[in-house]
Amino acid sequence: MDLRKLVERRKLTDRLFAALGICCVLIALLTLVVLMGDLARQGLSRIDWQFMTSFPSRAAARAGILSAWVGSLMIMLVTVITAVPLGVAAGVYLEEYAPKNRLTTFIEINISNLAGVPSIVYGLMALGLFIYQLGMNRSTLAGGLTLACLILPIVIVATRESLRTIPSNIREAAFAIGASKWQVVSHHLLPYSAGGIATGVIIATSRALGETAPLITIGALTFIAFLPPPPVMSEPPFVSFQWLHDEFTVLPIQMFNWVSRPQPEFQVNAAAAGLVLVAMTLSLNGAAIWLRYRMRKRIKW
Amino acid sequence: MSSTADPSTPATQVASLPQRTNVKRRAAKEPLLDRIIELLLFLAGVSSVAITLGIAGTLVFESLAFFREVSLVQFFTDHLWTPLFADPHFGIMPLVSGTLVTTGVALLIALPLGTIIAIYLSEFAPAGLREGIKPLLELLSAVPTVVYGYFALQLVSPLVQKIVPGTPAFNMLSAGIVMGIMIVPYVSSLSEDALRAVPMLLREGAYALGANRLITAVKVVYPAAISGIASAYILGISRAIGETMIVAIAAGTQPNLTLDPREGAATITAFIVQASLGDNPHDSIGYKSIFAAGLVLFLITLSINIFGHWLRKRFREAY
C-alpha cells in the first residue's frame, strides 16, 4: 500500500517535470514566434519594390535598402571565397595530415579559443591591423576579410567533424590499391564529406550575414547612397575589381541605424529591414537543416 | 615502397615495359606533389594561429599606447568612464559592471531554461519529438543579434516597464532577458549531447534501484555528464559577455557603475560600438580607449575559456 503510493508519487514527479520541460521549450519557441510576428506586423506592409530598390534617405518613407542588401551580398562573396578554401584546407590538415605533436595540440586549442572570441574583438583587430597597419580603406575587401577571420573556426570545425564520420576502411582501401595521401583526400574524403562541409559553410555564412559589430568597428558607413561599379563591364578589360575597394554598408548596419533613431517611422523601416534579414538567415539555416537531413538519409556507412 | 615495386622475380618481368615505367614515374612524381600540398595545407592550419597573433598583437600594441597616457591605477579605480568628454575619465569599472549585470540576467534565464530543455529532450521526450524540436531551437541562434536588439527595445522593454514601474526605456533587464533567450540553444544543444553520451548502463542501474526518470536524470545522468555540461555553460557565458548589438541597442549607452539591472548602463561591447560610430582619429585617446576596452573584454573571455578547458580536463569521465 505504502509502496504503491510511493510509486504513484514518483510517476507524478516525472510527469510534472515532463510538463515543465515542454513549457521551457515552448517559452523558447514562442519567443521566436512573437519576434517574427512583431517584425511582420510592423514591417511587412513596408516591404515593396520601392523599399528594395531605394537608397537610404532622410525621409523614412522614401528610404530603402538597396545599397544595404547589395553590400551584404558582396561582403558574403569575399568572406566565403576566402574562408572556405582556407578553412577546409586547415580542417583537412588537422584531421588527415597533422602528426600528433605539441604544435598540432597548440593549433587545436587555438582554434577552439578563437571560436570563443567575441565578434567585436575581430572588428578591433581589423581596425588596427587591416585599416591602419596595412593601409586598407574601409572597403568591401576589409569587411569581407574581417568576417572571413570570424567564420574560419566554424568552417574548420565543420570540415573536421565531417571528415571524422568517414570510416577509416575507406582510407585503407584507397591506400591498399596504391593511392597517394592527396589522392585519398581529393578522390574520396573530400567528395564524401562535401555535404557536411557545405552544411557548416551555410551556417557560417548565415552567422556572418547577421554580424553587425565587427563591421561597425572598422567604420562601415551607414549612409551609402551609391552602388559599387559592376564587376563586369562592356569594354575591355571587361572585369573590374573596383567594388572591392569601395565603401559599403550591410543590412544589419542599416537596420541598426534605423533602430537607433527616435522617430517611429524609422522603426517601421527597421522592422522591414529586419524582416528581410531574418528571412535571409532563416532560409540559409533551413537549407542547412534540410541538407543535413538528406545526408543522414542517404549515406549509410 | 619503391623497392617492393621493383621487378626482381621473373613473373613480374612478363608485364609490359611501358606500364612499368609509368608506375615508376608516378611513384617518383607523387611524393613531390603530395609534399607541396601538405605544405599548403599546413600553412592553412597555421593561419588560425596567425589570426590569434593578429588579435592579441593589435590589442596589446594599441592598448600600450593607451596605458602610456593613463595609469593602471586610474584605469581600475576611477568610477567614471568618459574618454570622449572634454574632461576625460578612464575608469573601466562602470563598463565591467554593465557587462556583469547584463550577463548575469542572461544567465539567470539561459542556464535553467537550457538545462531543463536539455534534460527533457535527452531523458523524457520521444525520439521523434526530439529530432523535430532540435532544429527549431537552433533557429533561435540563427536570428541576427541586431534583430534581437530591436525586439528587446520595442517589445520587451515596454513590457518590463509595465511590470517594474519606473524603469527607463533603455535598461539592462530587458537586454539581459532577450540575450538569455538567444543563448538558450547554445546551452541546451551542447548539454543534451553530453547527457545523451552517458551510457545506458548507468540509467539502468538507477532504474533497478527504484529511481524514476527525474531522479535518474538529476542524480545520475547530470553528474555523469557534468564536464560536457560545464563546457555548454562556459560557451553560454562567453557568448553573453561578448554579445554586442542587443546591449548596444537596448541596455543604454551611458556608462553607469551599478549592479541594479533596472537601470540603463553601457557594457564594454556597447561602448566600443558607440565610440566606433563617432569619428576617432588614429592617434586620439578615444581611438586608443576602444582597444583598451577591447583588451579587457578579450582577457575576460580568454580566461573563461581557459577555465573551461581546465574544467573539462578535471571532470572528464571516460566510460
Asked whether residue B231 is domain-assigned, the answer is: yes
Chain A hits for B147, Cβ within 8 Å: 35, 39, 210, 255, 274, 277-278
Cell numbers that stand for B143 in this block? 536570428
The predicted-structure confidence for B114-131, as pLDDT tens digits, reads as follows 999 999 999 999 989 998
Q: Tell me what pLDDT residue B20 has.
A: 52
**Listed residues B69, B85, B103: the one ending a domain:** B69
What is the ipTM score, two decimals?
0.89
CB of A69 closer than 8 Å to CB of B17:
no
User: Which chain B residue is nearest to residue A13, measuring alpha carbons?
Assistant: B214
Across the interface, whether the CB atoms of A282 and B54 are under 8 A apart is answered no
- What DSSP state is assigned to residue B166? T
User: What is the assigned CATH class of domain A48-298?
Assistant: mainly alpha
Alpha carbons A265 and A267: distance in angstroms, whole number: 5
Give yes or no: residues B28 and B152 share one domain: no
Alpha carbons B152 and B169: distance in angstroms, whole number: 10
User: Which chain A residue is nearest to residue B113, measuring alpha carbons?
Assistant: A24
Q: Tell me what pLDDT residue B259 has.
A: 83
Beta bridge partners of B81: B90
Q: Tell me what pLDDT residue B29 has.
A: 61
Which of A194-198, A252-256, B281-285 comes out lowest in average pLDDT? B281-285
Chain A hits for B137, Cβ within 8 Å: 25, 28-29
For residue B179, give its domain range: 93-315
Amino acid occupying residue B280? N
Give yes or no: residues B8 and B105 share one domain: no
Cell numbers that stand for A293 in this block? 537531413
**Domain boundaries in chain A?**
2-44, 48-298
* Mean predicted confidence (pLDDT) in A49-71: 83
Amino acid occupying residue A151? I
Give the one of B41, B150, B272 whose C-beta lies nearest to A93's C-beta: B41
Q: Tell me what pLDDT residue B42 has.
A: 93
CB of B273 closer than 8 Å to CB of B192:
no
Give yes or no: residues B105 and B241 share one domain: yes
Give yes or no: residues B35 and B126 share one domain: no
A274 pLDDT higher than 90: yes
Which of A88-97, A149-158, B29-38 comes out lowest in average pLDDT? B29-38
For residue B157, CA distances in Å to A29, A257, B184, B248, B262 come to 19, 19, 20, 14, 10
The predicted-structure confidence for A101-114, as pLDDT tens digits, reads as follows 999 999 998 998 88
CB of B118 closer than 8 Å to CB of B134:
no
Q: Who has greater pLDDT, B113 or A49?
A: B113
Percent pLDDT > 90 in chain A is: 51
The predicted-structure confidence for A8-30, as pLDDT tens digits, reads as follows 888 899 999 999 999 999 999 99
Cβ of A13: how many Cβ atoms within 10 Å? 13
Asked whether residue B142 is domain-assigned, the answer is: yes
Q: Tell me what pLDDT residue B35 has.
A: 86
B14 pLDDT higher than 60: no
Give yes or no: residues B48 and B155 share one domain: no
| CATH code of the domain containing B213 | 1.10.3720.10
Q: Tell me what pLDDT residue A301 has.
A: 62
On whether any CB of chain B is under 8 Å from the CB of A24, the answer is yes
State the smallest CA–CA distance between residue B260 and chain A in angstroms.
24
Q: Tell me what pLDDT residue A284 has.
A: 92
Give yes or no: residues B9 and B123 share one domain: no
Chain B hits for A113, Cβ within 8 Å: 52, 302, 305-306
Q: Tell me what pLDDT residue A24 has.
A: 94
Give yes or no: residues B242 and B104 share one domain: yes
Across the interface, whether the CB atoms of B143 and A281 are under 8 A apart is answered yes
CA angle B93–B94–B95, rounded 5-degree value: 90
User: Which chain A residue is nearest to residue B29, measuring alpha carbons?
Assistant: A180
pLDDT mean across residues, chain B: 86
Alpha carbons B283 and B271: distance in angstroms, whole number: 18
Contact pairs from chain A to chain B, CB under 8 Å: 268
Q: Tell me what pLDDT residue A139 has.
A: 85
* Mean predicted confidence (pLDDT) in B268-281: 86
Give yes or no: residues B123 and B63 share one domain: no
Asked whether residue B274 is domain-assigned, the answer is: yes
Concatenating the DSSP letter of every residue in chain A gives: -HHHHHHHHHHHHHHHHHHHHHHHHHHHHHHHHHHHHHHHHHHGGG-SHHHHT----SSGGG---HHHHHHHHHHHHHHHHHHHHHHHHHHHIIIII--SSHHHHHHHHHHHHHHTS-HHHHHHHIIIIIIIIS---SBHHHHHHHHHHHHHHHHHHHHHHHHHTS-HHHHHHHHHTT--HHHIIIIIIHHHHHHHHHHHHHHHHHHHHH--HHHHHTT--S---SPPPPSB-SSTT-B--GGGGSB---HHHHHHHHHTSS-HHHHHHHHHHHHHHHHHHHHHHHHHHHHHHHHHHH---
Q: How many domains does one find in chain B?
A: 2
